[in-house]
Chains A and B, each alone.
Chain A
Amino acid sequence: MTIDTTPMPPERLLELDDVHVHFSMREGLVKAVNGVSYHVDRGEVLGIVGESGSGKSVTARAIMRLLAKNAIQASGHIRFRPEQGKEVEISSLPRDGRKMRELRGGHIGMIFQEPMTALSPVHSIGTQIMRTVMLHKRVGKEAARARAIELLEKVQLPKPSEMVDRYPHQLSGGMRQRAMIALALSCDPALLIADEPTTALDVTTEAQILELLKSLQEEMGMAIVFITHNFGVVADIADRVAVMYLGRIVETGSVDDIFYQPKHPYTRALLQSIPRLGQAPVHRLKTIPGMVPDPFNAPRGCSFHPRCAYSVAGRCDVYAPDVKRFPDDQSARCHLAGELPEEVVL
């Protein structure tokens, strides 16, 4: 695999270029990620939204090189710049090699939806953080423990000096999520990948965790890739948004453009199907007809055309659309983007 010779712009932290991830299964080949390109700048929050099966988590795992054994990373480049000047092509590193292990946990942290399964049940919170710190920072036990306590305080857990010796089962869901954030941030990563971190939480706890992530992001200046299916959460935390459908990014743009001037029919339809608080009562919710097609036989042409209200026969069902670009870095993968009838979205 040849490394792209054009260097990334200075503000760029992570760049994905035409990434494909396929899974070979008994039933056939699943193209879970089918040509995804996005980038993350230093210190920004990129929200990735999509329904289940859109490939948003698989893409994130490809960045961490944590894909299952039957995954085939077919093609594409993932580049990451841990420090100024040094560019690493993650996609060409061996997944269990020294460099990748240094990046994983050291420069890129990750938090998951279900902290109970992501944390070890047989080690205390402190031990888990200390191991990461000792591995990446080469410090002694005492220093690592002090760092663990400092981190637990940072994520606003009560009584951090006691909490450090607790086990995950002794904590509530919200506290576990805080502990996992502390673990992911233990080595001051430049990038945090958050995969549905608030989905399993109650709204009041979700609000707490979102506020915490926002304040930590401000304080530590890391970039966040925030994966979620909840448009409300994205509106709250993201600077830019990428919308995924069936293994592709169908639209990207600033958070305001995505919410107030969506260019792709899928983004529009999704936004219209959410009941909003305080909205004048509507009789029926708008829906998207049909369901996400199964990935073994994705539709020809634009993969959204069977469910799209604007689909043009002979065009959308035959030719896969290219990416159309708009001002302010907004882009949409749709033949009709920019030509759709004006609609009041809000």
Chain B
Amino acid sequence: MSRTETMPSMPEDALISVSGLKKYFPVTRGWLQRQVGEVKAVDDVSFNIRRGETFGLVGESGSGKSTVARLILRAYMLTGGSIKFRRGDGSVVDLSDLSDREMRPVRREMQMVFQDPYSSLDPRMTLLDIVGEPLVIHGVGSKGEIRDRVGELLGLVGLRPEYAVRYPHAFSGGQRQRIGIARALALNPSFIAADEAVSALDVSVAAQNINLLQDLQEKFGLTYLFITHDLGMVEHISDRIGVMYVGRLVELGDTAEIFEKPLHPYTEALLSAVPQPDPRRRESGRRIVLKGEIADPANPPTGCTFHPRCPYATDLCKKEVPELRPVRGRQVRCHYAEELDLAGVGA
């Protein structure tokens, strides 16, 4: 692979390195589908995911976090940027210029777990067909071998191997989510993107599945991209996080540091908005209630996209777009990252 030689280096410990990632969706009008604008769903997003870590992407709906996951798995074609992926044999490939055919073997190494355990499993397929499908598609093993492997995978996620003959309707939401996890594991991937993988589940079941994901990570040395709007969950599971707002990263760094002391006003507001299971907090009244709603990515505000809702915004914020820049070992997109004294969570 001569292509790999010419590329700018990616950090030694990185499994995935995303740089300048862009995805613009066209806005069309009329029966001729004339393009009248574009939605910058993801705009210039860069981050690394280290091998064996869990990287969390958080943000509200419409922030572009799911689009990033889909771009990394090449479910969408990107508008710009590059996605470098370190393969099992040590070679580095840029997913952005692979053809679909070249992409195919790489897909074995990266898999996805979806949010909705009801719509992501075909109701007319048995678990054997569902969990075994990746093996069939990639031509791994004979019929008997596939059956054995499916049984083994179901065992890994805490389901009985005899369940292989059943259909998804016989299972609860939490169990279905496990079936989706078993399917993702079928080809021994090194990377799994989990898009709101526990958001639809009840608390006790979500906790079971989170523990399962962590066990599997330890067992197989998996690397996770964990996408969620649940900040409690992301704090629990992620080593590092990226906070997105209207298609851009606004803060990126170590989870514990960000939660303890955010440097971007949006991160601060997000953290303070989370309802805490602690009635005594009510009196402290520290909650920041943001004005208005998330900006429309088809028609973003001038300057910093967060300025209309930001309690600290000045004239500079209205005019100039802040760059994502290093501040105290993190990346922050705010003009005043150094000056502001923002509140985190904790004691």
Contacts and interface: CB of A to CB of B under 8 A. Distances in A.
Nearest to A285: B207
B231 A52 contact: no
Given A208-B289, A278-B344, A278-B347, A287 B269 contact: no
A52 B205 CA distance: 11
Interface in A129-143: none
Contacts of B260: 278
B202 A235 contact: no
Interface stretch (A29-37, A95-103, A226-234): A226-234
Nearest to B60: A202
B107 interface: no
A176 to B, nearest CB: 12
B232 interface: yes
A135 B174 CA distance: 45
A277 interface: yes
A274 interface: yes
Interface centre among A229, A273, A286 (most CB of B within 10 A): A273
B277 A274 contact: yes
Contact of A291 (B60, B205, B272): B205
Interface of B is mostly: helix
Contact of B276 (A232, A284, A286): A232
Given A256-B279, A274-B277, A276-B277, A287 B236 contact: no
A241 to B, nearest CB: 9
Contacts of A256: 279-280
Interface residues of A, number: 45
Nearest to A175: B293
Given A207-B289, A208-B290, A232-B276, A275 B204 contact: no
A271 B174 contact: no
Interface centre among A202, A256, A279 (most CB of B within 10 A): A202
Interface string B225-251: 000010111011000000000000000
Interface in B170-219: 172-175, 202-208, 210-211, 214
Given A208-B290, A278-B347, A235 B277 contact: yes
A278 B346 contact: yes
Given A51-B203, A281-B256, A204 B277 contact: no
Nearest to B260: A278
A154 to B, nearest CB: 17
Given A207-B273, A232-B275, A285 B290 contact: no
B275 A236 contact: yes
B203 A204 contact: no
A204 B236 contact: no
Contacts of B346: 277-279
Nearest to A200: B61
Nearest to A307: B204
Given A277-B235, A281-B256, A202 B277 contact: no
Nearest to A236: B275
A275 B203 CA distance: 9
A288 B205 CA distance: 8
A282 interface: yes
Contacts of B290: 204, 207-208
Interface of A: 51-52, 172, 174-175, 202-208, 210-211, 229-236, 255-256, 259, 269-271, 273-279, 281-282, 284-288, 291-292, 346
Given A231-B277, A277-B274, A346-B278, 15 more contacts: A51-B203, A207-B273, A211-B289, A232-B274, A232-B276, A232-B277, A235-B277, A269-B204, A270-B204, A271-B277, A274-B207, A277-B346, A278-B235, A281-B256, A285-B211
23 contacts: A203-B273, A203-B274, A203-B275, A204-B270, A205-B60, A207-B289, A211-B287, A232-B232, A232-B274, A235-B277, A236-B279, A259-B277, A259-B279, A273-B206, A277-B231, A277-B235, A277-B346, A284-B211, A285-B236, A286-B207, A291-B174, A291-B205, A292-B202
